[in-house]
Amino acid sequence: MRYLRFTVLLLLLLPGLAANAQSKKKSSGGGSSSSSGYNTGIGLRGGGWSSGLTIKHFLGSGKGVAIEGLLTTEYKARGARLTILGEKHMGVADIKGLQFYYGAGFHAGSYQGRYYFADERYYYNGRNGDVYFLKGNKAGYYYDENTYLAIGADLIAGLEYKLPDLPFVVGVDYKPFFEVFHGYTGFYNDAAVSLRFTF
């Protein structure tokens, strides 16, 4: 419900922001100082693992270096994750507005509740690999309501395209991440599509 309200608000504000951005561009007599064709973009990121808000800002050096912030939540998760990424952008030859980028960063978040499988198992190396047996009848699938902190490191690589004559950027990315969650560690693969309004 929160994302629906945010999306409606964003769609209502876009025409006014677009007019403001176009008037600034005309009054300055040129485009953005960034090689990407824009300085800042804000929008939505929809991913296979996490979705939410994305904000990208290019540093004033003109070398294609940007900072991206993601405020996301996971599917069916109660909580949120804040991710900060440093990214290097490079133009793709002969295609105006298309950029390849890569980078790295970190994230922190918290989630309420978790599902886990608990039992007493023992393993032995059988003829076809590891085989496990349950000891007794204590296996179970559990859920708890505790709040857990999650921290980790992220990598990112992607392509984004600045639409000509429109204040929008469309992007796709692949963002694998490593996470520590309540004493457990895991490596996850995430891919997403983003749409940002630029100014």
Q: What is the pLDDT of residue 4?
A: 43
Task: Write down the pTM of the prediction.
Answer: 0.70
38-69 pLDDT per residue, tens: 999 999 999 888 899 999 999 987 789 999 99
Close Cβ partners of 92 (under 8 Å, ≥ 6 residues apart): 98, 99, 100, 159
CA neighbor of 181 nearest in space, from 126, 116, 128, 129: 116
If one compares 175 and 28, the residue with the highest pLDDT of the two is: 175
- DSSP letter (8 states) at residue 199: -
Q: Specify the 3-state DSSP secondary structure of 109.
A: strand
Give me the long-range contacts of 120-123 (CB less than 8 A, separation at least 24): none
